Each structure stands twice: as C-alpha cells, then as structure tokens.
Amino acid sequence: MDNTHNPEKREGHDAQEDTKSLSIVQRGNLKTLEHTLRRQWRLGQNIVLCWSADERGVLVIFVPHYFLGNFCAAGDAVTSGDQDNEAFIRGLISGRRRKTRDQLFEISDRLDVAPTFIKLNTALAEERNVLQAVEQLIKRYGLSYVESRAVLLLDIVEFSLHTPFEQASQLNSLSYSLNSAYNKLLANGIEVNFARTTTGDGYYIWNRDIGPAANRDLFYFMLLVVADNAVARAASKGHTVPLIRTGYHIGGHYELYQAEGVNPTVFSYIVGDVTIELARMVDLAQPGQILVGDFNCESPAWQGGEEGRSPIKAAPMISAPAFVSACNRDLGAIQGTQLSGKSISSMACFLSGGDGEAVKPGPRRFRIVDKHGLSRHAYNLQIQMELEGQKLSLGLDGSKLPHKPSSAPEAGSDPGQRTAAPSAEEMIDDLASMLRKRSVKAMTED
C-alpha cells in the first residue's frame, strides 16, 4: 500500500526517511541515544521530561512515572513569582523539549532530580532534521501536554447489540470512511495528518498538526466522514455500515506512547479534558446527531498579519459558533468532491437555531448532565449538501432537539398558601428524590 494514502503508516515511514537523510555520524549518535533512553526507560518505569545538548553528549532529566503525580499533588512548593506545580509541569512537557543548559539545571533544582548525562561519539549537529529526530525520541520516552487541539469522536450506535461479524464489518466500514475522507481532502490540497485510537465501539481522531488551520481541517474531515458514512449506509443492506453519532471539541490533553513489548509504540495515545468532555457529550447524543462542544479557540481565518505590517503574535480567540461559521464560509474548498461516484455540488453546515419565536437570536445551546451530576454545554450541528441534484440533510433536525425544562408551578399549588412543616419521613423522601434527579443523565436546552 502506498504510505502517502495512510497517514498513520506514513508517520513511521517519514521518520525512517528523515533518519536516512542524516549523516552516518549523526545516525550513530541517534542509535546511541535511543539505546540509552530505552535502557533508562525500563519498560515505562521512567519517563524523560526534557533535554539539553552538551559538547560531549546530551543531558536529560529522567523521573519515575509516578513522580509527576506526586509533584503536582504537593501544595507546598509554590513560592511568590512561581507557577503552581501542575502549571509548571504542563509548561515543561508542552511544545519543544530542548532547553538551554541553565534552564535544564533550574528545572533540575526545582524538581530535586539530578540530570542524566548520555555520552555520544560526537556532538549533535545543530541541524533541523537532527534536532527534530532527537525531539521525537524524547517524546516517545516521555509524556506530552497539548493545551488546545481539536479532537473528533465517532461512536457506533448500539454496537454491542450486533453480532461479532457485524461489529467487525461496521468498524471496517467506518475505518474506510476515514481513509476515504483523507484521500478526498488530499485531492483538494488539504492534508489531515490524522491519528486515531479505538474506543471499542468507535474512534477518537485528531490531527497530529497543531494550530487554527489544523483544527479547521479536522472539522472538514469530520464533515466528509459523516457524509461518506451516510451515503454508504443508504446503499447498504443489513447492519454492515454503522449508524454513528459524532462529537467535535477543542481542548487540552496529555499524549503518551504506551509500552509494546520492550519498546514504546510508534503511535501515540491521548487522554485529558477534551476526550472526557467528548465521551460525556456523545453518551447523550441521539443516533445520527453531531454535537459541537462549547469552546474558545484561535480563529481558523487568522493569517498572522499582512506582508509589510508588524505580525500579530497570537491569533484572535473566537467562540464555537464563530468557528463553525468561519469553517462554513470556506466549504467551497471541498466542492466537487466525489461521494459514491457523485460530485458534491454544494455543502453548508450550521448550528441549530431558534424556531422563529425565540427571544434570543443565535444558535441553541444545550446543557448536558452526566451520571456524576457534572455538566457541560454543546451545540447541535446540521449539514445540508447536494450530490448532483440529490439533497441530503445530515445531523439531527432542530425539531427533534430537547427544549428548555418547564418551570411552571404544579397544578393545584398555591405559592401564597402556607402548608404544614414536612415530617422527617417526607424530608428524607424529598432528599432521596433530589439525589436521584442529580444522578440522571439528561440533555436540555440551556
């Protein structure tokens, strides 16, 4: 199979090609470095936090895998002008891991951990491909934090009720929709370097690239996956093509490489706020529904300033509705894409709005309460597309969405009428009823 059509295999392929482009001396340095990292890693007992180049080799900071949890739990290490421990660790394992020598020893002092020196045959070359290869090695033997990234969750409805053969067919069908959407976007000049992990009855999917454009491209990817799945389902028989429910959210997460035998895997896994929020959102989604989380992110339309002007250092932050609107305006980029041999004549997406009698304009926002009583907000996404004259509506129609709970007083009650004080038994019953209501999962209009 051509690796250019499979981003997951391509990542390992590209890493090998990058290594081949290095000089023999630098390849020898990388082999020595990886051999020592693997030995110190000890099947996942230790992790690497950061590194610094040395004229005779490399300095790295190793800590036991449980160290970070203990360090973040300690509350007595915060002094004036310092970050709290968790914020310090998140900053340390975010982005580039290379530090200056002074920075590395400052980190060592705060963590109270001595650096480890790894001797190399010669100094590392200050070349981009060499430094990138070292960064990738360090991350594979460590833990990373990404503050803001778009993640997609595709969940197969009633997956456990199907036979094992049907389950395998549905997962294979969904996997094909992912690869098909990737190739279709690539043909339009949009490359989504996607990664995925299975949830058992679906997939978490994210773009390995980070930034406003990467978040937008993953949103396009989601639209095509949902469309491809819907077209395939309409043409299928039996239960070979899954009915899915979908969630899209932007947030923070940790990224790690689990042990596979005696080595860390080539592919990463993610866990954090964004995956937890997605799981709880989609758990209450209806079949065929597409939910978008309530997030703030960098504008996908940001270009970093015009030529000849001073560049803007940070992209402006926008809300989820503004993000969807910005993506919708650029959907012409995928017009003409083929689905089941038919071209997409037009496509539009929008968040479900009011029914015309709504006092407040704008999209309807929904409050989702999980089994723990915790809540978050989300929006309902709808897609309208035309395939050579055939119109398709994807997502959940606004008429099928829940409404605001009624707050009207019960019939026969008189707010002004005084009643007798409740008995102890009645108070216990009322309290039990309140606890039951708190544990009930529900989605209501906010």
Question: How much is the pLDDT for 434?
Answer: 59
Tens digits of residue pLDDT in 198-213 = 999 999 999 999 999 9
Residues 6 or more apart whose Cβ sits within 8 Å of residue 307 = none
For 178, the enclosing helix (H) or strand (E) is helix 164-187
Whether the pLDDT of residue 191 is over 90: the answer is yes
Cα 255 from Cα 17, distance rounded (Å)? 24
Residues 246, 281 contacting (CB under 8 angstroms):
no
**What pLDDT score was predicted for residue 409?**
47
Domain coordinates in residue numbering, the chain: 3-141, 146-395
- Strand, coil or helix: 385: strand
Amino acid 442: pLDDT: 87
Close Cβ partners of 432 (under 8 Å, ≥ 6 residues apart): none
Strand partners, 352: none
Averaged over 277-297, what is the pLDDT?
Answer: 96
The whole-angstrom separation of Cα 277 and Cα 273 is 6
Q: Does position 98 have pLDDT exceeding 70, yes or no?
A: yes
Give the pLDDT confidence score for residue 380 in this predicted structure: 97
Beta bridge partners of 431: none
Q: How far apart are CA 351 and CA 355, in angstroms?
A: 13
Residue 430 parent element (H or E): helix 424-439
Does the pLDDT at position 407 exceed 60?
no
Residue 306: per-residue pLDDT: 45
Q: What is the CA radius of gyration of the chain?
A: 26
Average pLDDT over residues 340-348: 88
Instruction: Tell me the residue ranges of DSSP E strands in 157-281.
Output: 194-198, 202-207, 244-256, 259-260, 263-264, 269-271
- The single-letter DSSP state of residue 399 is G
Q: Which residues of 366-388 are buried (b: 16+ CB within 10 A; e: fewer)?
A: bbbbbeeeeebebbbbbbebbbe
pLDDT at residue 431 tops 60: yes
pLDDT at 312 over 70: no
Residue 419 in this model has a pLDDT that exceeds 60:
no
Q: Residue 136 belongs to what H/E stretch?
A: helix 128-140
In this structure, are residues 421 and 341 in contact, taking their beta carbons and an 8 Å threshold? no
Bridge partners of residue 424, in order along the sequence: none
Q: Model's pTM, two decimal places? A: 0.84
Query: What pLDDT is attached to residue 408?
Result: 47
Query: Is it true that domain 146-395 has CATH number 3.40.980.10?
Result: no
Question: pLDDT of 110-132, one tens digit each?
Answer: 999 999 999 998 889 999 999 99
Round the average pLDDT of the chain to a whole number and report it: 85
pLDDT at residue 59 is higher than 90: yes
Mean pLDDT, residues 242-262: 88
Average pLDDT over residues 149-165: 96
